[in-house]
A and B are shown apart, each in its own frame.
Chain A
């Protein structure tokens, strides 16, 4: 069964460093998302991406964040200068976006980012 994959599973970085989190969405999906979950808290939406551009972003997704689909398979989240409060689990998700049916978002296993 197709699945969303994410690398790395765990990333440790120093405050102020840039990190890139990578995701491979399910191949025939059209919509891509990043969410984050601070330890013990709820999952929060960061950004959605469709047709090679951002379709929606939350207030969390400030100028320090960017997303890219550099080729036909990868979807990346870049944090330019990490802060302590960026420590969280980051989930990538994808969906078909087609009309009708649940169009559920399939989540990857997550990347745990630890900022020291």
Chain B
């Protein structure tokens, strides 16, 4: 089974509108972290936001918020007031922390290509 599933290969949104990018995950580890990264066409990976499995509140970072629904195992990224510069590939990733929690690998989803239109 896929550990991270992103079901939207592509999304379009109008400038200034909000958009939600879906991510579901699968793990039996009680301690894990969920991440979103942005990959513009230039190729670099830019960290956007993090949600820990024990965090009670949804994470927010500026225009980015993470809609964390633990029972549903979903961690959707919400981008408010979209800008043209938000056009990029967005990857959801998970770190299963097990007993060590220190430097565990990230497992990525297949990504969602977001296009912001005028």
Contacts and interface: CB of A to CB of B under 8 A. Distances in A.
Contacts of B18: none
Interface footprint category on A: 20 to 34
Nearest to A55: B103
Nearest to A109: B44
Contacts of A99: 101-102
A95 B97 CA distance: 14
Interface residues of B, number: 23
Contacts of B43: 89, 109-110, 112
Interface stretch (B21-29, B45-53, B74-82): B45-53
B109 A42 contact: yes
B105 A43 contact: no
Contacts of B110: 41-42
25 contacts: A30-B102, A30-B103, A31-B103, A33-B103, A33-B106, A41-B110, A42-B108, A42-B111, A43-B93, A43-B106, A44-B108, A50-B103, A55-B103, A56-B104, A93-B45, A97-B102, A102-B33, A102-B52, A103-B33, A103-B102, A106-B47, A107-B44, A107-B46, A108-B44, A109-B43
Interface of A: 30-31, 33, 35, 41-45, 48, 50, 55-56, 58, 89, 91, 93, 95, 97-99, 102-110, 112
Interface of B: 33, 35, 37, 43-47, 50, 52, 91, 93, 101-111
